[in-house]
Amino acid sequence: MPLLTVQDLRKSYGTRIVLDGVSFAVEEGERVGFIGVNGSGKSTLFRIVAGVEGREGGTIALRRDATVGYLAQEPEFGEAESIRSAVAAGRPALGAALVAWQEVARRLAEPGADHDRLLARQAELSAEIERLGGWDWEHRVEAMLTRLGIAEPDRPVAGLSGGERKRVALARVLLATPDLLLLDEPTNHLDADTVLFLEEYLESYPGAVMLITHDRYVLDRVVDRMIEVAAGRLTSYDGAYQEYLQAKAEEAERLGIEDEKRRKLIAKELDWVRRSPPARTGKPRARIQRLEALREQQRQRRMQRPRELSAIAPPAPRLGRTVLELHHVTKAYGERVLIRDFSTILRAGERIGIIGPNGAGKTTLLKIILGQEPADAGEIVLGENTRIAYFDQTRSDLDPETSVYDAVAGTDWVTVGGRRVHLRSYLEDFLFPAPVQQQKVASLSGGERNRLLLAKLLLQESNLLILDEPTNDLDLVTLRALESVLADYAGAVLVATHDRFFLDKVATALFVFEGDGVVHRHEGGYELYRRLRAEREAAERAAREEREARERQRTRRPAAPGATGARDAGKRLTWKEARELEGLEERILAAEAERDALAARLGDPALYAGDGAEVARLTAEYDAAVARVDALYARWAELEEKANG
């Protein structure tokens, strides 16, 4: 029996049908990814399954005693709650049992306490706590909050930003470990390292997962099945994101063939109708009706297909020799240094991704470049021909009381790709149909507002795009369109985002915020950066462990009076091996010095302003140096083991 079964589910808002009799099932332990354009009904479906929104028809059956946990896009809390109590609310029975056990423990210490009764009660509570998850609950809460980047857990929820509230809600639902986990855009407001943690957590999650996310790496590595939501219907595809893309490509090819056949048949029928205007009775009437039926079939097929966004890169005025230069820029707030002595040069055609933990200073750097914040030290140089278009993650450039139509341009006609088009048609290309264009901006979802802001941005004449978290809340259709626009854009791009897939497709280089004010430039996308960082950390960890092992070995085996370790080892080694062991420590130290010198050069931001071939050469030398150090340590361990018999 499936964990969840949904049959003939129906939901509409006014005349707009969101879910038109949809059915699906989720098996125990299955991980299902839901995709579709913003406004297609994904979040509505999740709210209905979670029981927080009603439906107009259909049934929802859940396995008996199964629990459901739901992460909303905009989570709600009691304003008097602290972070810790808000997270504990995910396991109310366990939290209540722990509080009760602590109360019994307090009363046992009081004079005249009824020890027999209280001890019996304490034993009952101990068994209940063990059944509900054990005594490590507080430790698990602390560990989860730390991993999600949430500090000071006794702070009130009321004072948190939207991103922090989302992470607290994520901690709450993950720690509750329900049988069915409903996650609506869980990666929003998470930095890349935290998204990687969530990805690994979900891979090993024991229950079933229903997931809405635009993070394609998460979809590709976590889910077993994809469900596409479009035109009120659901279409299921076996496999992860890569298999979904393959199936869509095959489907598009098949539909293209079918559409061509139908187009030819319609053309043939239309030709007959045009050639025979007088013959409007009897059998000819049937052929006319057949033509109308074919046209209706074609229209229905178009309506049922997922909509695709059509966007064109904006014109980019010619850039001069200087686009943007940063010279020794420093920025701090009190004792907290965000940027320390950062220098770099941005060239025409470069697309730079800016990454780092939340609060590291990415937005601050963009505001310094825009002149909205002053630097404490250093110089910002903009080229004379540089024209900036800015995407603000707060969407402050959109008036919520303005209509969608009026928010984009102050004219009925706009120029797109050198062609004059009506604004209504332009907005339809951005998936805003005519009725929606008359709605207020305030009525749009977060993803739809981001899409509207992009439509406005791409009408501006610019040669430097500065984008602050443009991927938050965007659906995959819009993300793919944005990636295509940036790939074709003739100017330069600075984009702060946590979307790893987006960075790997778009970025030619990265500005990496490492913490404590350290910002360096890395050539290439996120996956290359992550691999090199992992290799460097592994090498440093191995070297540290080897040094500690050598120190322990020396402590355990003090040299005999008048004899060196190598001479003592010579009793078990050949004369040649003893000489080799005697000189190994010096060789290891020299190899480590060479490796560390190369690491220091690779960590110098100035290196990445020069020739990319030099970066590649030094990276190869560094990898070879790490391998030499590892080989020398392995040989040292082998000879030591032989010497010790």
In this predicted model, what pLDDT tens digit does every residue of 47-93 receive, in sequence order?
999 999 999 999 999 998 899 999 998 888 876 678 887 887 777 77
Residues 385 and 293 in one domain: no
pLDDT > 90 fraction of the chain, expressed in percent and rounded: 31
Coil/strand/helix, residue 124: helix
Q: Is residue 69 part of a domain?
A: yes
Residue of 314, 302, 312 whose CA lies nearest to 481: 312
Residue of 175, 446, 531, 467 whose CA lies nearest to 314: 467
**Looking at residue 518, what DSSP letter applies?**
E
Burial, 405: exposed, middle or buried (Cβ in 10 Å; 0-12, 13-18, 19+)? middle
Asked if pLDDT for residue 572 goes beyond 80, the answer is no
Continuous segment of H or E residues that includes residue 238: strand 233-238
Cα–Cα distances in Å, from 645 out to 559, 568, 582?
Answer: 16, 12, 17
pLDDT of residue 556: 59
The encoded tokens of residue 317 equal: 């005025």
Q: Which runs of consecutive H residues, i.e. helices, occur in 223-304?
A: 241-275, 283-304
User: 């991927």: which residue's tokens?
Assistant: 471
φ, ψ of residue 307 in degrees (nearest 5): -75, 145
Domain that holds residue 21: 4-92+141-243
Residue 619: Cβ within 10 Å count: 17
Type of residue numbered 571: K
Are 172 and 118 in contact by the 8 Å Cβ rule? The answer is: no
Distance CA 212, CA 182 (A): 8
Residues 229 and 251 in one domain: no
Burial, 409: exposed, middle or buried (Cβ in 10 Å; 0-12, 13-18, 19+)? middle
φ, ψ of residue 204 in degrees (nearest 5): -105, 10
Q: Is residue 496 part of a domain?
A: yes
Distance spanning both ends of the chain, measured CA to CA: 61
Residues 517 and 620 in one domain: no
Residues 190 and 232 in one domain: yes
Residues 174 and 67 in one domain: yes
Q: Which of 243, 270, 289 is the last residue of a domain?
A: 243
Q: Is residue 103 part of a domain?
A: no
**Which domain CATH number covers 183?**
3.40.50.300
Distance CA 69, CA 81 (A): 19
pTM: 0.70
The encoded tokens of residue 240 equal: 């992860």
Structure confidence at residue 560 as a pLDDT band (50, 70, 90) = very low
Residues 541 and 453 in one domain: no
Number of domains making up the chain:
4
Q: Which of 218, 243, 268 is the last residue of a domain?
A: 243
Residues 239 and 252 in one domain: no
Residue 442: Cβ within 10 Å count: 11
pLDDT of residue 277: 52
Residues 342 and 413 in one domain: yes
Cα–Cα distances in Å, from 180 out to 61, 134, 170, 279, 613?
Answer: 13, 21, 14, 63, 50
In 437-524, DSSP assigns E strands to 464-468, 492-496, 509-515, 518-523
| Least confidently predicted of 84-98, 357-371, 448-462, 550-564 | 550-564
User: 């707060």: which residue's tokens?
Assistant: 394
Q: Is residue 87 part of a domain?
A: yes
Q: Which residues pair with 184 in a beta bridge?
A: 212
Q: Is residue 97 part of a domain?
A: no
Distance CA 637, CA 630 (A): 11
In 14-71, DSSP assigns E strands to 16-26, 31-35, 57-62, 68-71
Burial, 493: exposed, middle or buried (Cβ in 10 Å; 0-12, 13-18, 19+)? buried
Distance CA 129, CA 316 (A): 64
For 498-548, write each residue's pLDDT tens digit. Answer: 899 899 989 999 999 988 899 999 988 888 888 888 888 888 888 888 888
pLDDT of residue 44: 93
The encoded tokens of residue 236 equal: 């299921």
Residues 444 and 510 in one domain: yes
Asked if pLDDT for residue 563 goes beyond 50, the answer is no
Residues 433 and 568 in one domain: no
| Least confidently predicted of 152-156, 177-181, 350-354, 422-426 | 152-156
Residue 573: Cβ within 10 Å count: 19
DSSP 560-617: PTT--HHHHHTTTS-HHHHHHHHHHHHHHHHHHHHHHHHHHHHT-GGGGGS-HHHHHH
Q: Is residue 99 part of a domain?
A: no
Sign of the torsion formed by the C-alpha atoms of 363, 365, 371 and 374: positive
Coil/strand/helix, residue 82: strand
Q: Is residue 311 part of a domain?
A: no
Task: Please give the average per-residue pLDDT across 298-325, as a whole number.
Answer: 70
Residues 398 and 519 in one domain: yes
Residues 387 and 472 in one domain: yes
Residue 177: Cβ within 10 Å count: 16
Q: Which of 304, 335, 352 is the last residue of a domain?
A: 304
Comparing 210 with 546, the larger pLDDT belongs to 210
SS3 letters across 605-639: HHHHHCCHHHHHHHHHHHHHHHHHHHHHHHHHHHH
Q: Is residue 33 part of a domain?
A: yes
Structure confidence at residue 290 as a pLDDT band (50, 70, 90) = low
